[in-house]
Structure 1
Amino acid sequence: MLNEQTILHWFDDVLAFMQHGKLAPWAAVLPQQLQKILQEKEHGDQQRWLDAVAALPEIDQVQADLTAHDLGLHSPVITAEQEQQLHSALRGLMPWRKGPFQFFGTHIDTEWRSDWKWQRVAPHIAPLTNRLVLDVGCGSGYHVWRMLGAGAARVIGIDPSRLFLMQFQAYKKYLQAAGQRADADLLPLKMEDVPANLKAFDTVFSMGVLYHRKSPIEHLQELKDALRPGGELVLETLVIEGALGDVLMPEDRYAMMRNVWFIPSTETLLLWCRRAGFKNARVVDLNQTSLQEQRQTDWMRFNSLADFLDPADVNKTVEGYPAPLRAVIIAEA
């Protein structure tokens, strides 16, 4: 059975990596941050998730492809009994929201086609080869693995969800078994937990986070402080159509989400980036989320985008606001 000490050992490698260089200030406080997080009140499903991770079978001759859209894991010697055990354990880690993943013949069709977002983002960013990367709000780590597959030297993802941590570790277990580089970690933290003024990362991603922050300018400044001078910001967030100065602040919910605060026009968002100190901020992609990109699946059986839009007009949310429109912004620190 997994326990708190077992989970803490998941972070031994990243702690050792952080000990020297610009991440040393984070290494000094990270053990205490992790202890505090793990000792907080547990989610009601946490034991189910821990049991599921513990039930993942050992599999030999693992092959992994971090460049495949489904991050395929394969083995020529997996048995039918192992396949069934694996499928059952992965079911114990539902709901799966970010992906897709392929675990030895078990295809996890996640709520989000995160590979589509990566296809929109990847052509516009600086090559990740040998870069130190931070992925803020990384979910289950799908994009973390794609970043590593794109050549990043190391990727650190942060997301406070305990379920996302378990899903991440499920994939990492088999990547390590494949003998491949697994220089990626998910820390169950928020951006506010990252020490100020690290100025350490070559690239910082923040995708799907800005509109959840009560102070978006503060979030942009936190991202800039994490970047080395000249480092690259990759920002993906909700926007509205409109002119400079236009911002939507929902009365209560937006697309059934309570924690949406500010949705700016693209021109307003670019101004925010400039005011936060970023240079050369530009929009490289604009995309309205489709019912094919975010939807209910057998691996995520709760409400999804179709339930959040006006049934008579998919260009509006159920509250009457413009449907989700997402922009990708690239800028330099």
Structure 2
Amino acid sequence: MVSLPKRWARSVGLKPGHQVALIPQPDSSLLLVPRGEVKVDVAHEALVEAHPSMDPEAVVRDFISRYLAGHEAIRVRFHEGASRHRAALKEAIRRKLMGVEVIEESADELLTQCLVGYVELPVKRAVSRMSNLAHSMHRDAFSAYASADHGLASEVIDRDDEVDRFYFFIVRQLKMAVQNRALSEEVGLSSPRDCLGYRLVVKSVERVADHAARIACLALGLEKRLSLEALSRASKVSELAGRAYLRAMEALEGLDVEEAHRCMSLSAEAVRAGRSAVEELISLGLDARSAVSLSLALDSLRRIAEYGADIAEVVINLAAAAPTTRAWAQEARRWVGIRWP
């Protein structure tokens, strides 16, 4: 039995029969965390004021900031003359934010609620889905570019919104986990350090998707296919970049340091191949428009490889985060009942 201060227990809503976790920390201290059915309210209803003088994008950014802060309900108040902001906000919610639904609406107000939580989609599962989506965008974007397929290119561009939805949702969970230690394990992470690492990872994945969308946009500008000679160099860079990115994500899943190092070597190879291909553009005899287009596509492929290396570096750093302390914490963690003093 462990006796807890009555005032603290009441402040966090603990009652007889509730559970807490004693989690050893790297500095040899113990972290006491309420668990189970105990809920600490860290996200009350937030308010966004939409004035007619504001840019609609500013209202959208204000709304997203409340969403990322972890608020479950967000009320938007439209002042007279700000009706145009409503359409922009509702479109952004539909395209960019996962699980946010309008539950009340009037002439001057909009009330939304986030209906998807960390239990339904924990961080690691969400990152996996986001990563797979970004990889498919890269693969299909280059395919669209190589074949000048405008239809496929448009589909890839549309998929970028879905990646953004995962990105904002994951960042929301990570911020909530940092603010409330009790949520760290609930979202599938073991420490605030992991939250920082995954924050860097999801930003890199989001940028991979952005560059895939950029390649798709370049494909829309092609009137015909480029020569096979020009595409063969770009195809090699694309294949190397895709492998580097995939291996980085595989290394993240198992915190595999050796795989992370191999990924960084593969990324460096892709970067060298990309630079070599750009240097050889002059010898291909392309017209100026095609040469610029291919140069920009190669730059995006190089950046995708570099983001794979960034993810691999995060893996190495996470794996080095006191592994003995992690193992000891897992062995030492115990559930304890509550006895009132």
The structure that is helix-richer by fraction is 2
TM range (shorter): under 0.3
Normalising by structure 2, we get a TM-score of 0.24
The structure that is strand-richer by fraction is 1
Query: Which structure's relative contact order is higher, taking Cα pairs within 8 Å and 6+ residues apart?
Result: 2
